[in-house]
Amino acid sequence: MKFLKSLFFYLGLFIIIIPTVFVFYWMISGGFKTQLQIISSPPVFFFEPNIKNYIEVITQHNFGLYMWNSFVVAALSTLVALLVGIPAGYSISRFRMRTSVFLLTVSRMVPFVSYLMPWFITFRRWGLIDSYTGLTLAHLIVNMPIVVLLMSTFFEEVPYELEEAAEIDGASKVNVFKYVSLPLARNGVITSAILSFVFSWNQFLFSLILSGPRTQTVPIAVFNFMTYEEIAWGGLLAAATMITLPVLILTIFIHKYIVRGLTLGALKG
Amino acid sequence: MLKRNTTLKWILLSPAFALTGILIAYPLAYNFYLSFHSWYGSATRLPRFEGFSNYIATLSDPRFWNSIRVTIVFTILALGIEIVAGFFIALYINREFRGKNFIKALFVFPFAATPVAIALVWRNMYDPTLGVINYFVSLIGRVQPVEWLTKPHLVIPSLAFVDIWQWTPLVVLICMAGLEGLPREPIESAQIDGASKWQIFRRIIFPLMGPTLIAATMIRSWDVIKVFDIIYVMTAGGPGFASENLNIYIYNTAFFYFNMGYASSMMVILFAIVLGFNIILYQLTKRGNEKS
């Protein structure tokens, strides 16, 4: 009876995860199919994989450059977001500033085009369209509030008594932060860093307008493959796999904190 | 904690404040300013003040009202199903079993994955002739291929389904966290008193989960109302304007027609909608808290 019950439970679980697994299976397997296998009806589910699509995407479409662009922008905006956001998050956690939290949360509700249009006009004037600087600044709009809010919740979990004890022992404020608070909020730093990297890597709308031939990021490049040519699904799905895989690998490390990250620290996972 | 070391507080905050001011506050103020002006993005012809005429123009713009309708239908479909399905899946999974951590990690993938890539795979799967979805439909017995993305009455549910596929897992994770944090005593004592499973759910679990569900609804609403990537990549608002939500209409108005003033006024309206929806939800939470 007990065995039967757990069998049914796993059966239900299997049905629940099928859609999730299937879509990723379809994406990854599609990248290894020939055009003939892709357009065949009924669809091919099992076949001998072949890496021609990958070779073609990498060699013919300048994919390396787009990957590099995405990486540079994501890394730069993450770095700045952390440098600015960690002290701010610490300050918010220690001095209880509800207004700042509220305003940063509201900044998430605003339609992102609202940020984009004024920046497009300004960047055009300053010649920052199609530059790493412009894209990094734009991505910070999304990344910085996340880092600040997330770090403030992680710092709140560092007991103040520990800091006090260190101060009584003669440590300076800077050293208390460096050797007590920051190490204890280590998971927060890792989560913030990975999340803001991923957000930037996935960013579509800002990059669509503010990037150009020199700084095009991968999502925009893939979108352009799709619109300018006859749809070559094999190559597209191979490209989709290559964009997504780094993100999935990174998020595995922080899946415990992802709920907190995506609810801006409001809910804990 | 309550030591008011104000100098330190401001030193730590000022870089973030400066960046927020420049990156976030400036564009919002500029938008608000522009929403009262007529401007086509020209460097030589400056914005001309026109009072409320942009806002008044929205009233008689059928494309604006269409985009409002698309936004509302998409939001109700996606948000409603995500919250309900997410909650029930979480209730189902909320027990100890082998592979729980694996499931939790797997559930992160759909919403963490790059939206452009996800949109692309779904576009392939929805394809009327070579798509795998129509193959599954044909197994059930329908011969005629369904045009998921090119029939006006089907396109919004089809797109909403992609959003549901992406984001229900997040609601599941949020609800699982909420369920794990519930107090055990009331549930156990109700069991001892012989309450049925349904009674325990209806009288204890559901009310206690209320705040979590409302928070999940709020957070999802921010993104659902202004969804962009998925729709833009899969249909670009088509066929015709059948899937053009307010966000995409604003984007087209600003960067395709360069009607910057009009676009700004619609951004203000969209923001007001998001904010209004959240204030209503917030009031509901407050009233719920006062009752209990």
Q: How many CB pairs under 8 A join A and B?
A: 244
Q: Please answer whether residues B167 and B222 qualify as being in contact, where contact means their C-beta atoms are separated by less than 8 angstroms.
A: no
Contacts with A226 from chain B: Cβ below 8 Å: 120, 233
- Single pTM value for the model: 0.91
Contact A104 B120 (CB under 8 A): no
Q: Which of A5, A107, A113 to mutate to test the interface with B (most CBs of B within 10 A)?
A: A113
CATH superfamily of B49-291: MetI-like (1.10.3720.10)
List Cβ neighbours of B196 (8 Å cut-off, separation of 6 or more).
none
Q: Please answer whether residues B128 and B145 qualify as being in contact, where contact means their C-beta atoms are separated by less than 8 angstroms.
A: yes
Asked, for residue A6, whether it belongs to a domain, the answer is no
pLDDT at A27 over 50: yes
pLDDT at A48 over 70: yes
Contacts with B132 from chain A: Cβ below 8 Å: 26, 43
For residue B2, name the pLDDT band (cuts at 50, 70, 90). Answer: very low
**B15 bridge partner residues:** none
Asked, for residue A13, whether it belongs to a domain, the answer is no
Q: What is the pLDDT of residues B63-105, one digit of tens each?
A: 999 999 999 999 999 999 999 999 999 999 988 888 888 999 9
Q: Hey, where are the domains in chain B?
A: 49-291
Domains held by chain A: number? 1
Query: What CATH number is attached to the domain comprising A65?
Result: 1.10.3720.10
Average pLDDT on B108-120 reads 94
Asked, for residue A18, whether it belongs to a domain, the answer is no
What is the structure's pLDDT at B292? Answer: 55
Q: Please answer whether residues B212 and B87 qualify as being in contact, where contact means their C-beta atoms are separated by less than 8 angstroms.
A: no
Nearest partner of B67 among B257, B278, B263, judged by Cα:
B263
Contact A160 B135 (CB under 8 A): no
Contacts with A206 from chain B: Cβ below 8 Å: none
- Looking at per-residue pLDDT, the higher value among B4 and B147 belongs to B147
Q: What is the pLDDT of residues A205-252, one digit of tens each?
A: 999 999 988 899 999 998 888 766 567 888 899 999 999 999 999 999
Supply the range of the domain harboring residue A189.
24-262
Contacts with A204 from chain B: Cβ below 8 Å: 115-116, 228-229, 232-233
